[in-house]
Amino acid sequence: MDVLPLAPTPAQAPSQPLYLRLSSHYRQAIQSGVLLPGERMPSVRALTRLHQVSLSTAVEACHTLEDEGLLEARPRSGYFVLKRRRTDLQPPSEPESGRKLDPAQYVGVHDRVSDFVAKCDVYPLVTNLAGTYGSPAMYPAEALKNAATRTLRKHPFLLVTAPDFLHDSPLNAVLAKRALEAGMQLSPEDILVTHGCIESLNIALRAVAQPGDTVAVESPTYHGLLQILESLGLRALEIPTSPQQGISVEALDLALRTHDRIRAVVVMPNFHNPLGSVMPDAEKEKLVRLCERQRVAVIEDDTYGALGPDDIPLKAAKAWDRDGSVIYCASLRKTLAPGLRLGWVAGGRWQARIHMIKYAQSRANEVLAQYTVAEFMASSAYDRHMARLRRMLNVQREQMAEAIAAHFPAGTRLSVPRGSMMLWVELPAGSSAQAVFDTAIRQGIRVAPGSMFSNSKRFDNFLRISCGEPFSSQVDEALRTLAAIVSAQAPKA
């Protein structure tokens, strides 16, 4: 067999283990179509010759691709590219860009979320497909514990000393340095540490809008944002948002020209929750320039931006901010420590007001967590953790998508994002995601129905399914159960 004409050196960061660089090289070849489903991989010995690596490195690279569901081993025949069932599924429907945009009060969103929480409390949990965190084993628990111990040795009175709200913690400097990776130029003074991204969004909205004002949001959007809008008495305008490209800047432009008192647009450009979409960089720049001209705040939620397939994070929309129009909000709860409520906000031209609102609302965050995380994030151990987390999530997304494609009925639609930890699944026409949730929760299976992510009825046949937990026979069985519930809804012939 002829060896495929692939580059002899895997084009990845040399700090990665060689087997991961090699597996990444062939993963790209498979995903780009250079290696087709059913086609044979170069043999292990051919890989050693072509890339000048050891036999064990070549074997481990093939095992990695096999674990990811990209290769299958055939006895006495070698490795072959696996045909992925999910390629037979169509992506979720695109929004209707021509529909009329109507502001809504979002009254009742909190009631729907409360109903979800109440039912989750009533029924014992067996399998959680609704969460947006990784499993505890995916985070650096031991390293964080050791960093906290060292912090207390260096600062023995830290826990009994009141934090000073007016002085930045060491975490600010580390976050400012890490922000360079997403294209942002920030100083430590530009950053305010918060109790998670949800507080950042709350403060940002309070800084730029008053009750009765209108805020443009993506449709669908994160249900926690909808709860904030309702609690603050803000009106919301749903903007069509593509599962592939993110918010429609053209539709937003029209909305800004035809609706009064739009004070802000809240967006999640990178790995949108729940869609998983990523805005192209050109669209991010168009969004920022539009809002600059209209003097409208952009509130950017970048919770998942660091969870892409590569070791370089996606660029934030704030990377194109020239006059402080973008308020950047982020969190470390998905990427580093779900048990710590650590988020941050860079408020642009509203930074002083954001500081005062934070002081009035919750005062300073406790500092032990900040010192601990600052030490860890300043080290190369953080980069190794993030590389490992991305690899694990990539495997879990592919495995979940394959299982959905295998089990769910005809008419199901799905696209798999290149990062993050969730899938947005469109059920066959006529399905009720709320009914699926109500049935599944009684069997101990949690899943997030699409009705939580909008005040409209447009997403009642969608489910958000988490990929945060490692794929297992239990997870597979839960997906089979969900598929059976969906199939039972199909109209009888």
**Tens-digit pLDDT profile for the chain (493 aa)?**
344 434 444 444 556 789 999 998 998 888 777 888 889 999 999 999 999 999 999 999 999 998 888 898 998 889 999 877 776 789 999 997 666 787 765 556 778 888 999 999 999 999 999 999 999 999 999 999 999 999 999 999 999 999 988 777 899 999 999 999 999 999 999 999 999 999 999 999 999 999 999 999 999 999 999 999 999 999 989 999 999 999 999 999 999 999 988 999 999 999 999 999 999 999 999 999 999 999 999 999 999 999 997 777 899 999 999 999 999 999 999 999 999 999 999 999 999 999 999 999 999 999 999 999 999 999 999 999 999 999 899 889 989 999 999 999 999 999 899 899 999 999 999 999 999 999 999 999 999 999 999 988 889 999 999 999 999 999 999 999 999 999 999 765 5
Query: Residue 270 pairs with which residues in a beta bridge?
Result: 278
Distance CA 425, CA 243 (A): 10
For 237, list phi and psi in degrees, rounded to 5.
-120, 115
- Give pTM, 2 decimals: 0.87
Q: At what angle do helices 55-67 and 18-32 cross, to 10 degrees?
A: 50
CA distance 249 to 239: 9
- 444-478: string of b/e by CB count within 10 Å (b at 16+)? ebbbbbbbbbbbeebbbbbbbbbbbbebeeebbeb
Q: What is the pLDDT of residue 100?
A: 73
Class of CATH domain 18-83:
mainly alpha
pLDDT score recorded for residue 322: 97
Q: Which tokens belong to 342?
A: 């650590």
Which two three-digit tokens encode residue 397? 């997304």
Q: Where are the domains of the chain?
A: 18-83, 87-97+107-137+383-489, 141-381
* 444 in Cβ contact with 475 (< 8 Å): no
- Nearest-angstrom CA–CA distance, 9 and 260: 56
Query: Could you tell me if 8 and 48 are in contact, meaning their C-beta atoms sit under 8 angstroms apart?
Result: no
Residue 276 has a pLDDT of 96
CA angle in degrees (0–180, nearest 5) for 183-185-186 = 130
Task: Provide the token pair at 443.
Answer: 């069997």
Model pLDDT, residue 491: 67
Determine phi and psi for 185, rounding to 5 degrees: -110, 100
pLDDT at 34: 84
Query: Which CATH code is given to the segment(s) 87-97+107-137+383-489?
Result: 3.90.1150.10
Rounded Cα–Cα distance for residues 288 and 320 (Å):
7
Element (H, E) at 354: helix 351-362
Q: Any idea which fold 141-381 has? A: Aspartate Aminotransferase; domain 2 (3.40.640)
Q: Could you give the 3-state DSSP secondary structure of residue 330? A: strand
Identify the pLDDT of residue 11. Answer: 42
Q: What is the per-residue pLDDT for 108?
A: 66
Report how far residue 485's alpha carbon sits from residue 445's, in angstroms, rounded to the nearest whole number: 12
Q: Given phi > 0 = left and psi -120 to 50 = alpha, else beta, which region is 128?
A: beta
